[in-house]
A and B are shown apart, each in its own frame.
Chain A
Amino acid sequence: MDITIHTTFLPHDDPDASVAFYRDVLGFEVRNDVGQGKMRWITVGPAGQPGTSILLAPPAADPGVTEDERRTITEMMAKGTYGWILLATPDLDGVFEKVQARDAEVVQEPTEQPYGIRDCAFRDPAGNLVRIQQLR
């Protein structure tokens, strides 16, 4: 079987703020942008890697999600325990400096982890944890 990991999703609560973070701070390209208001589905990804995307999507848009579930999801997003993603770069310190210079919320400065990676972490505007590790 020939299967690639094509698109993963992260929730947003303010589409413009999330696009600004992934496009202007991380330097991703915007590949698609559909819907309006808070109900927008925005596809972003790193330039030169068209095969891998992140879909920034409204949380709990499935009509099968109950009101209680919707509230739980939005509260978990606000308190930072819902969405997360692991990214990687050959130049961790360079990326960290650039992202920090754009006033992104730093969660962790570049640190050698006991499980064998070196990484840093930021919050995106929706409260998702974005970890970036050094490619070795």
Chain B
Amino acid sequence: MCHPSWGRARLAAQRLDQLARLRRVRDRIEREYARPLDVLALARAVDLPPGQLSRQFTLAYAASPYACLMRRRRKRATALLRRGDRGLDGVRQAVGCPSPRAFDIRLAEPAVGRGGSGDEPAGV
């Protein structure tokens, strides 16, 4: 017969382990924002199902992985544009944004992300 506190301790340890995986995903977005990233690759690297990663990440950080990635790209793009030695195309390339039209619109938004936005690709 297990002591009830053992079960609680195990649950707490699992929770911390999961949060540490989410942290690694967030750090990877921070580090590799200029590369093509998708939720499948992010999830695979930390051994979580993609749907679970998206849900748990959004709960932990109040923004989906995709929103977090776009916020990071926008922040860097804004810095590069202010520096002024690259045109919009160059900046877009430098921050790894695959969709010029979406990115132009997003650049005009405030630098602080809105959390989960309604126009994210399904499953991200």
Interface residues of A (CB under 8 A from B): 71, 74-75, 78-80, 105-109, 113-114, 121, 123, 127
Contact = CB atoms under 8 A, between A and B. Distances in A.
A20 to B, nearest CB: 17
A123 B26 CA distance: 12
B16 A78 contact: yes
Contacts of B17: 78
Q: Which 3 A-B pairs have the closest CB atoms?
A: A78-B19, A80-B23, A114-B79
A45 to B, nearest CB: 26
A75 B30 contact: no
A79 B60 contact: yes
Contacts, number: 41
B16 A105 contact: no
Interface size class of B (residues with CB under 8 A): 10 to 19
B41 interface: no
Prevailing SS type, chain B contact patch: helix
A87 to B, nearest CB: 18
Prevailing SS type, chain A contact patch: mixed
B50 to A, nearest CB: 19
A109 B31 CA distance: 7
B79 A113 contact: yes
B10 interface: no
B52 to A, nearest CB: 15
Contacts of A74: 16
Nearest to B82: A114
A79 B12 contact: no
Given A105-B24, A108-B30, A114-B78, 10 more contacts: A78-B15, A78-B16, A79-B26, A80-B23, A80-B27, A105-B27, A106-B27, A106-B31, A107-B27, A107-B31
